[in-house]
Every structure is written in C-alpha cells, then in structure tokens.
C-alpha cells in the first residue's frame, strides 16, 4: 500500500506534510519489519533533502525499536550532521551510542535498559548498580571506541570518574574490624 501511495504521489501532487507523513509511516513500517535495506532505499529515493531530514527526525522522535533507533541515529549523523543544531546533534549521537551499548547487552536484558538508550552514562551507572560488571566492561570498551575524537556532551573522563566512584563504593566496608584481645 505504501508503494502504491508513493507511485500515486509521482502522478499527482501531494501536500508536503502528507508526503512526509506517508514516507515516515512507510519507513517506520519497514524498520519494524527489520528490513533496513529497503528503509535505506526508501530514504535514498526521496529527492528533497529537507523532506528526508524531516522524515528521519520525526521517525526517530517516535521512539521506534532499538535497531530502528540505531539506524535512524546513524543515518541522521551521516547525512545531515551539518543541518542539525548542536543540541540536537548531541542528542542524536548520545542515542546512537546508547543504542550501540544496548546492542552489546544480552538480548533478553535489553528491554530493561531501553528507556536509558539516549543517556549512555546513566545506563552505565544503572549497570554498575545492578552489579553487571561483565556487561559494564563491554559497554565501557564500546563507549571508549565511539567517543574517540568526538564531543557529544560527555567525555571519556566522565566515564572514568563514574567507574572510580563505584569502585570506591565497592571498597567501603560499613563495619569496623574487631581487634584481638590478648
């Protein structure tokens, strides 16, 4: 049905807002079905960059599933980096990094941390509080690789400070040691 509507749009003029809505719904449908290749082809078929940007941003703002969010954040960063405000750019890059970290977690556990996908530092802190040390190691390695030479609102030093804070707390003993009496 989406393809039929798209063909119809080539024959008859469709208002810009309706065209954006049509393509956004089609894109979200393709991403929900897991067909990233067709989603990319759809975006490449759109000739007007302004419409393509609007479709991509609106789709991302609908908070689709993890792989769709990751795809859209990556697409927006790769194709429209210069068109985005600094705040929006940081928001999208944080979402990209958060979704990348989520993809490193075991599949059944991702749902527990999905709500933190746009806040990677908070996700890392939650993993630390839940004592998921092995997952934290992979997440930190992923974040270090992604942060190399980028500015997105947090730094490698902030990650290291967070790890130091929780390492210090892990070494605090809430009781006094008893002395031996002779």
Average of per-residue pLDDT across 123-150: 85
Percent of the chain residues past pLDDT 90, beyond the cut: 24
pLDDT classification of 65: cutoffs 50, 70, 90: confident
pLDDT at 178: 64
Structure tokens, 52: 């393509």
pLDDT at 151: 64
Contact predicate 69/63, CB 8 Å: yes
- Cα end-to-end span (Å), the chain: 88
The pTM of this model reads 0.76
Residue 90 neighbours by CB distance under 10 Å: 16
Mean pLDDT of the chain: 85
Structure tokens, 86: 């600094």
pLDDT classification of 170: cutoffs 50, 70, 90: confident
Beta strands in 70-130 (DSSP E): none
- Nearest CA-CA partner of 56 in 33, 40, 67: 40
pLDDT digit string (tens) for 119-132? 988 999 999 888 88
- Nearest CA-CA partner of 74 in 31, 114, 45: 31
For residue 157, pLDDT over 60 is answered with: yes
Contacts of 99 (CB under 8 A, 6+ apart): 66, 69, 70, 73, 117
Q: Report the alpha-carbon distance of residue 124 to residue 146 in Å, rounded.
A: 14
For residue 164, pLDDT over 90 is answered with: no
For residue 37, pLDDT over 80 is answered with: yes
Contacts of 137 (CB under 8 A, 6+ apart): none
Contact predicate 73/60, CB 8 Å: yes
């Amino acid at each position: 049905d989406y393809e039929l509507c798209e063909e119809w749009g080539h024959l008859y003029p469709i208002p810009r807002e309706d065209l954006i809505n049509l393509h956004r719904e089609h894109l979200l449908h393709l991403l929900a079905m897991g067909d990233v290749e067709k989603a990319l082809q759809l975006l490449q078929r759109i000739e007007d960059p302004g419409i393509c940007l609007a479709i991509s941003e609106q789709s991302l703002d609908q908070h689709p599933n993890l792989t769709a969010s990751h795809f859209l954040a990556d697409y927006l960063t790769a194709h429209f980096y210069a068109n985005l405000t600094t705040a929006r750019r940081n928001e999208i890059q944080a979402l990209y990094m958060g979704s990348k970290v989520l993809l490193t977690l075991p599949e059944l556990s991702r749902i527990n941390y999905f709500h933190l996908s746009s806040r990677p530092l908070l996700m890392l802190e939650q993993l630390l509080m839940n004592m998921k040390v092995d997952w934290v190691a992979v997440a930190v390695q992923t974040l270090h690789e992604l942060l190399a030479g980028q500015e997105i609102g947090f730094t490698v030093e902030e990650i290291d400070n967070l790890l130091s804070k929780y390492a210090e707390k892990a070494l605090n003993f809430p009781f006094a040691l008893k002395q031996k009496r002779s």
